[in-house]
Chain A
């Protein structure tokens, strides 16, 4: 391979990997995030790192890029011991990280972001703003990104921020480029550009590690796949030596059939539970859909295509504009959360730490927050009642804890989420709105949450599932509506489900054209 393209690339002894990670482990408090992970990536190779949310992928990459330090284990870059103390040190050593939670500075322009810390300067040390923005323009043109360098960081969409982030990392022509879910918010056209940029770096002799949830991409681009599950390595195989099914099994530790509850095949006769007709909201075009009792309807889409407005409107936090919403055929006015609850809508927010839980209060109080208001007399809580109720909830939802007096903060993400479920499901609702119900939840808890959803549907609850997790959508839903720019671009029935079919709709009309060939 040619290594003359980049000054950052030094000739290295043949056979040594670009980055070798050996027995790296890391814990946050009592939570072991990484357990003895070892893998390596060679120069001119693309390694795809796969795993569920919370599997430890991002932590591992942050260790490689100097944001965290490992508790144990070693790393070597081109054969030399590598232990970066900061992101800056890692970057100096030639390791660039493009983050998923982007590091775009909102009050600087795109060009200034792109060159931050490495700005072209004149003899006096003053930054040459004009040259900087011209160079940024040239870089974007080379990569095929349509972005104006003079726009401010705060004006960018999620996809645009991601593109800038990737351009920043690629600009450095790094020895090792790490991309953390680079394509999660991108359309298929933009994804192609990113994959092309990765291929170009690879041809120049860089090593690339990319994290992705899209298995199609992994199958297409990866020379090597590394799978993490619960912080441990479960698969390390070269292209051709693994299949999609191998990846899934390594990610979740069992086959899909074991994780997701079986769906009943015939719900056409069930009564109509929820119907939404022509309802719009800020960020959401007029939308119509309906659910029968016991049905699960999924909403898929790239990040920021109207999922949040939909979840918030359905739970009564922000109002729908116009249209008609009916539960069991009775029109309701969904103007507040309280009205939603009264009408039988329970809603699990995606941000449990801010919207769902009082972290420092015990499980007991978190669980009984709403339920007991109906069972208390004149506003006084009955403590014995509360304890009994909380204990029942703890068992029913399998909340793993030292007891109902344990503060919620000390629980794992999965058990915290079960507390949220327990609170909202104290009374069986008619409609359950789930927004990213398993974000940051480990596989075991996920399976339990899925089982719970299955049980609820058997009891006639209609479930609206808004999620970015495609396996979850495909595994749980009876129907999937795909959102693009606030409108439904297509609906898939269960036999048509596939990640590819969802992505094709999620990319919008432009994406459909790209994939038509």
Chain B
């Protein structure tokens, strides 16, 4: 389908991330023969999964011009709940984790909508609260996750498996929502210009609630992916995800001011970030350099996509 209207510029915004991912992949392939091996590709998909899902949720919030800093803590809490309950509850612990994620999103939304707290501050506070709950539940890494979950979901770490399908389904569905539904367009509208969106009849509290629920829910799904992968709970494992999720979204062309970006850009951004980490590992570079590189890429992405400020001189 030929993208028309706002779809076209939004897709273009994802292009740099896609090129970056391709470039890193190409360099890594040339440098190290292991990169394209079946085992590494499957491993990559599994690594992309939680970040891509968390970044997708973050992007939905960013599209609305809000931000969610509690994504990492929700991931931690999710693994903790999984680690503590899956032995007794079995499969039922999965809906429980998702409910907990939605509850975190609802808490964020309540602060933003009812108390009119700036989303940055509200979600930062939520992040602290949720992390505290995770630590109360599971003071140190441990607990137990049913190996059956791992076997069913990750199987033999192949390239084509449930993780890839989950990524594809989540992004395709979100793409459809943002490209072609009034709901998605209302979210873009709110992020593009809140006052104009209100004047156009957008239900602003409704959109705020939706985006934080989506972000909380998707962070819980990301947490499930992490918990099942490590077969245990870890109350601190999510910490790095908040920045990574925002970085993946920004790298994918999502504007921090809201209103612009496409979900495919977010996927490309998540892949690029994971590839950077993977390439560093394969090239046996110091992991601390990785952190520095990620931070610099974040800043570069912000500069690249900064909205022109001097447009309205006349």
Contact = CB atoms under 8 A, between A and B. Distances in A.
Contact of B314 (A67, A152, A283): A283
Nearest to A101: B195
B5 interface: yes
Interface in A109-159: 109, 111-112, 116-117, 119, 121, 125-127, 129-130, 132-133, 149-150, 152-154
Contact of A283 (B2, B181, B313): B313
B311 interface: yes
23 contacts: A87-B199, A88-B203, A97-B199, A99-B199, A102-B196, A104-B196, A105-B192, A105-B197, A107-B6, A107-B9, A107-B188, A107-B260, A108-B188, A111-B5, A112-B5, A116-B189, A116-B201, A117-B201, A121-B182, A127-B182, A129-B3, A132-B4, A152-B9
A421 to B, nearest CB: 26
Given A117-B182, A129-B180, A109 B4 contact: yes
Interface of B: 2-7, 9, 176, 179-182, 185-186, 188-189, 191-193, 195-203, 259-260, 311, 313-314
Contacts of A413: none
A153 B196 CA distance: 12
Contacts of B6: 107-109, 112, 152
Interface of A: 67, 86-88, 91, 97, 99, 102-109, 111-112, 116-117, 119, 121, 125-127, 129-130, 132-133, 149-150, 152-154, 282-283, 304-306, 308-309, 486
A72 to B, nearest CB: 24
A105 B196 contact: yes
Dominant SS among interface residues on chain A: loop
Nearest to A281: B313
B22 to A, nearest CB: 27
A119 B182 contact: yes
Nearest to A305: B314
A133 B5 contact: yes
A163 B92 CA distance: 56
A242 B202 CA distance: 41
Nearest to B3: A129
A108 B202 CA distance: 14
Nearest to A109: B5
Contacts of A109: 4-6
B306 to A, nearest CB: 14
Given A102-B196, A282-B313, 18 more contacts: A87-B200, A87-B201, A99-B199, A103-B200, A105-B196, A105-B197, A105-B200, A108-B6, A108-B189, A109-B6, A112-B185, A116-B201, A117-B202, A119-B182, A126-B176, A129-B4, A132-B4, A152-B9
